[in-house]
Chain A
Amino acid sequence: MKLWDIAHSRTGDKGNISNVSLIAYDIKDYELLKEKVTTEVVKEWFKEIVKGEVVRYELPQLGAMNFVMYDALGGGVTRSLALDKHGKSLSSYLLDINI
């Protein structure tokens, strides 16, 4: 099963930092997400893109987590050479993880 089957996501950017939410459609799946989608899993998944640390924040009452990924946007939105300078599409990439 992909995360896409049970969760949704949105990416935000601040400078060279990307934050990606992961939100369970059904709050009953939150514990599963919490168990499977650790910072280590996310760091490994994004290793070609994210050069810095990954920090996870939890919002259990919303069935949601927030992954903050440092050194993730090719030097920052203004000077990145990437086609998607804001990393807006990283949310969909997170949802491609198999659990």
Chain B
Amino acid sequence: MLTIYALSKLRKDIIMKKIRVGSGAGYAGDRLEPALELMEKGNLDYISFECLAERTIAIAQQQKLMDPKKGYNGLLEHRMDKVLPLAYKNKIKVITNMGAANPQSAVDVICKMAEEKGLKGLKVAGVYGDDFFNQLDKYQDTTVWETGKPLSELDGEVVSANVYMGIGGIVEALENGADIIVTGRVSDPALFLAPLVYEFGWDINNYDLMGKGTLVGHLLECGGQSAGGYYAEPGKKDVERLWELGFPLVEVSENGDFIITKVEGSGGVVNKDTCTEQMIYEIHNPKEYLTPDCIADFSNVIFKEIAKDVVEVKGAAGKEKPQTLKASLGYKDCFIGEGEISYGGPGCLERAKLAAEIVEKRLELTNVKYDEIKIDFIGINSIYKNHGRVYNTPEEIRLRVAARTKTKHDAVQIGNEVETLYTNGPAGGGGATKSVSEIVSVASILINRNDVEAKVIYKEVL
């Protein structure tokens, strides 16, 4: 029989339940070591890896068309090789959107790897249903955000259509005991909000809680960016050992308040400034951050530094979720051809300007067609364009010519006309490079949330 003391302690444990969630990646190609460090030393319950940029899924879809077993994140095997044994050993659940265009295949790959490693009983789930390509006909009159015109007038073949789903599929997978969950397109915060909803039994119609959990996700979804990554300014904002940057982790209370920190001894810094920069990152109106699960309100958020590298976060709220969901369509848009070449020493800017003039004249003479061209003098005006400024004579300058074309042939000619400056252009040009990219662009539309439904598949490691 439980003593009163034990009962009260048990009750306290229940009341004080806290969940620790780590950020495993902020983009597809992110460093792996910080995730492993979190899994080893972070005392985590969950780790989520955000690895799916806006148009990556369109490219993944094309890979799947060529090989039905592909179309998941190209680094899935690389990450899972180290992540799976740690997850198994330390009982950490893993959630990731590395499924991209093919979560089903990703589940097979993960199970095969886990089997080879002897991780018996590991349950792997795949969340899909975000692909609505076969329903596109009914959205032809829908306005595309980027163009302001109906989808039917989009200039380019649509190759993928994926909607940003909410937490539903992930929560279902957790309820069914999944240890590793690999999804297609879901909202980035959903990767972090879902385990909180599952663990605390949060009512998904309690939008203040959804808003608080969304802030957790927003602060974690970009990997190191809350922990001193993308922050340093020598002499003003110094950050320790960015080469060993620790990724952030949160400890969330049932009421949605949380602390954000990192593994002790790792590089980086967590303070109210790193948190503020990241909270405002990629949001527009702080009162209305639209997600599939709520309209989050970050306008009253407070950050309080309670210890070195520990920040307490309170004050997020939310409103009812939108009836529509954002969807991204990938379409074959254009080609971009580029070429670069460097000039140095006295008169280098004048020679680079002459080189640019030669390239433009050559493109005209050889009848190369382009929709837009951009000529940059790297070191002077390639990232900013404030023409009113007076510049000192540079020591060196790099000419860059980029143009958008309809055909690959014309795109190739852009770089070629820069390269031929070697023997045909001004004196002393060196280090020419060229490239051609086929551009799959993204068109965004809103769709009815009832048109898609999350589906979950399960597989257990034998």
Contacts of B146 in A (CB 8 A): 15-16, 76
| A89 lies within 8 A of B383 (CB) | yes
Taking CB as reference atom, which chain A residue is nearest B145? A15
B interface residues, Cβ below 8 angstroms from A:
54-55, 145-146, 230-231, 233, 236-237, 272-273, 276-287, 299-303, 333-334, 336, 372-374, 376, 378, 382-387, 400, 402-404, 439-442, 444
- Give which listed residue, B230, B280, B301, contacts A19 with CB less than 8 A: B280
Interface of B is mostly: mixed
| B382 lies within 8 A of A21 (CB) | no
7 interchain pairs, CB-CB under 8 A:
A4-B236, A12-B281, A16-B146, A23-B277, A61-B301, A79-B441, A93-B383
| B280 lies within 8 A of A68 (CB) | no
Contacts of A74 in B (CB 8 A): 374
Interface size on A, residues (CB 8 A): 36
The answer to whether A35 has its CB under 8 Å from any CB of chain B is: no
| B442 lies within 8 A of A84 (CB) | no
Contacts of A55 in B (CB 8 A): 284
| A19 lies within 8 A of B277 (CB) | no
Contacts of B403 in A (CB 8 A): 81
A83 to chain B, nearest CB (A): 5
CA distance A83 to B375 in the complex (A): 10
| A83 lies within 8 A of B382 (CB) | yes
- Give which listed residue, A49, A78, A81, contacts B55 with CB less than 8 A: A78
Apart from A61-B301, A62-B302, what 10 extra A-B contacts exist at CB < 8 Å? Answer: A8-B237, A12-B282, A14-B282, A14-B284, A59-B286, A66-B284, A78-B54, A79-B334, A79-B336, A89-B384
CA distance A83 to B374 in the complex (A): 10
Taking CB as reference atom, which chain A residue is nearest B285? A57
B32 to chain A, nearest CB (A): 23
CA distance A84 to B374 in the complex (A): 12
A78 to chain B, nearest CB (A): 4
Indicate whether A82 sits within 8 Å of B284 (C-beta atoms), given known contacts A10-B277, A48-B386, A62-B301.
no
A48-64 contacts to B, CB under 8 A, are 48-49, 55, 57, 59, 61-64
CA distance A21 to B230 in the complex (A): 14
Taking CB as reference atom, which chain A residue is nearest B301? A62
Contacts of A66 in B (CB 8 A): 280, 283-284, 286
B313 to chain A, nearest CB (A): 11
